[in-house]
């Protein structure tokens, strides 16, 4: 069985597997071919892949010869058509939000797995690319904010006077939020955070941040530990609390998301206008609508000296470790679908079934099947 690794599109610096992951895959009995230059932006050259045992090929060869293609961004439809009919395609293709691609894959009777669909269960944790990339996002968001802030993060007592620590407010304390908090703490900031899940409170306190309580949040056990939509009254109370805290903050990092829905709007326009000049908002929810009313996706805007950074593909800005984590997640997932060096799909396994977009002309993931019916 031959596994292909392609070079990602121009704005994506990560690669699905670095040479060390390729080496492991080869030790399982697979052959690996890598498009020339695939690892360049993640600082892995063709020679490093050759040393791991991979063949270096042109893109067209990788596409037409591979039995399995492991990527990150979705492939263009015309390239999918060039793959072997029974080849397996893996990526983070956003299948739930890309009906054109999903319908095409089903019509073409392709076998495709979309890594953002990996069930968020304990057994699947080591394959969860969303968690890995959220770790990258949280860390990078804080660094981005620190870099944009016209002030220090830590407290200093110097001969030139004292500097008070920067005050950071993190909204949403999931994987990305906790990493943003931890990074801001390491840099010496005073950090405040809040979330609608009570479980997040303990985690926030355990890493040394202060938790802001807003009474009356709705939680639903059936949501498997994730946030659910909140009542209009609660959201208004949250907005008022944020408004109050934002005026004292130097930095706000927003990460609040609700799976499958538009991100909640929590930082209002009046709040941005009330903030100190020089303060910075980093909105990690920019691509799902934004937590701040004025966020522009993929842009930094300035409102009376308050900069709002609507982050795009921040994971690609840490390409080496992001690719390393991605590759490790892939290997853990591939262990489930490769047996004795050959592809072996067991749809009795909830992770294999849940991650599969389609196989043999049929939608496999239940949410994909629902989406296709609409």
Residues 6+ apart with CB under 8 A from 153: 146, 165, 166, 184, 187, 188, 189
CA distance 45 to 249: 43
Residues 93-122 that bind ligand NAD (CB under 6 A): 120-122
Closest CB to ligand NAD among residues 38, 294: 294
Give the interface segment with ligand NAD, choosing from 7-15, 30-38, 220-228, 243-251 (CB under 6 A): 220-228
Query: Any contact of residue 283 with ligand NAD (CB under 6 A)?
Result: no
Binding residues for ligand NAD, total number by CB under 6 A: 34
Strands (DSSP E) found in the chain: 2-5, 31-35, 55-57, 68-70, 88-91, 111-114, 156-158, 161-163, 167-171, 190-194, 210-211, 251-254, 280-283, 300-303, 306-310, 338-339, 342-343, 356-359, 362-363
Q: How far is the CB of 116 from ligand NAD (least distance, A)?
A: 11
Beginning with the edge strand found earlier in the chain, give each strand of the sheet holding 55-57 in spatial order: 55-57, 31-35, 2-5, 68-70, 88-91, 111-114, 356-359, 362-363
Query: Any contact of residue 171 with ligand NAD (CB under 6 A)?
Result: yes
Task: Compute CA distances 362 → 97, 105, 359, whole Å.
Answer: 18, 9, 5
CA distance 295 to 48: 41
Q: Using CB under 6 A, which of 114, 135, 257, 295 touches ligand NAD?
A: 257
Q: How far is the CB of 236 from ligand NAD (least distance, A)?
A: 11
Q: How far is the CB of 369 from ligand NAD (least distance, A)?
A: 22
CA distance 62 to 125: 30
Closest CB to ligand NAD among residues 6, 130: 130
Q: How far is the CB of 284 from ligand NAD (least distance, A)?
A: 9
Q: Using CB under 6 A, which of 58, 81, 125, 346 touches ligand NAD?
A: 125
Q: 3-state DSSP call for residue 211?
A: strand
Which residues are designated catalytic?
120, 125, 128, 131, 226
Q: Using CB under 6 A, which of 80, 115, 117, 134 touches ligand NAD?
A: 134
Query: Any contact of residue 173 with ligand NAD (CB under 6 A)?
Result: yes
Q: Using CB under 6 A, which of 16, 44, 68, 195 touches ligand NAD?
A: 195
Closest CB to ligand NAD among residues 287, 296: 287
Closest CB to ligand NAD among residues 74, 133: 133
Round to the nearest angstrom and report the end-to-end CA distance of the chain. Answer: 37
Binding residues (CB under 6 A) for ligand NAD: these are: 120-122, 124-125, 128, 130-131, 134, 171-177, 194-197, 199-200, 225-227, 230, 238, 255-259, 264, 266
């Amino acid at each position: 069985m031959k596994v292909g690794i392609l070079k990602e599109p121009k704005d994506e610096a990560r690669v699905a597997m670095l040479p060390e992951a390729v080496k492991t895959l080869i030790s399982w009995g697979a052959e690996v071919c890598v498009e020339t230059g695939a690892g360049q932006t993640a600082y892995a050259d063709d020679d490093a892949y050759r040393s791991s045992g991979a063949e270096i090929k042109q893109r067209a060869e990788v596409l037409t010869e591979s039995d399995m293609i492991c990527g990150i961004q979705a492939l263009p439809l015309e390239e999918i058509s060039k793959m072997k009919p029974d080849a397996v395609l893996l990526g983070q293709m956003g299948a739930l939000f890309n009906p054109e691609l999903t319908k095409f894959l089903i019509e073409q009777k392709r076998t495709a797995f979309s890594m953002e669909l990996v069930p968020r269960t304990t057994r699947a944790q080591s394959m969860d690319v969303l968690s890995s990339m959220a770790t990258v996002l949280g860390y990078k968001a804080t660094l981005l904010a620190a870099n944009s802030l016209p002030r220090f993060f830590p407290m200093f007592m110097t001969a030139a006077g004292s500097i008070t620590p920067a005050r950071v407010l993190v909204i949403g304390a999931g994987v990305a939020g906790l990493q943003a908090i931890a990074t801001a703490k390491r840099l010496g900031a005073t950090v405040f955070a809040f979330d609608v899940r009570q479980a997040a409170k303990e985690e926030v306190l355990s890493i040394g941040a202060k938790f802001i309580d807003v009474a009356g949040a709705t939680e639903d056990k059936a949501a498997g530990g994730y946030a659910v939509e909140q009542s209009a009254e609660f959201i208004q109370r949250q907005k008022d609390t944020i408004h109050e805290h934002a005026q004292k903050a130097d930095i706000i990092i927003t990460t609040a998301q609700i799976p499958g829905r538009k991100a909640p709007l929590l930082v209002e326009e009046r709040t941005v206008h009330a903030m100190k000049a020089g303060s910075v908002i980093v909105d990690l929810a920019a691509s799902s609508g934004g937590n701040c009313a004025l966020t522009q996706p993929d842009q930094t805007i300035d409102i009376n000296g308050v900069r709002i950074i609507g982050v795009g593909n921040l994971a690609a800005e840490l390409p080496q470790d992001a690719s390393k984590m991605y590759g490790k997640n892939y290997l853990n997932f591939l262990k489930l679908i490769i047996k004795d060096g050959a592809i072996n799909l067991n749809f009795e396994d909830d992770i294999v079934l849940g991650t599969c977009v389609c196989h043999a002309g049929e939608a496999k993931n239940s949410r994909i099947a629902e989406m296709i019916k609409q």
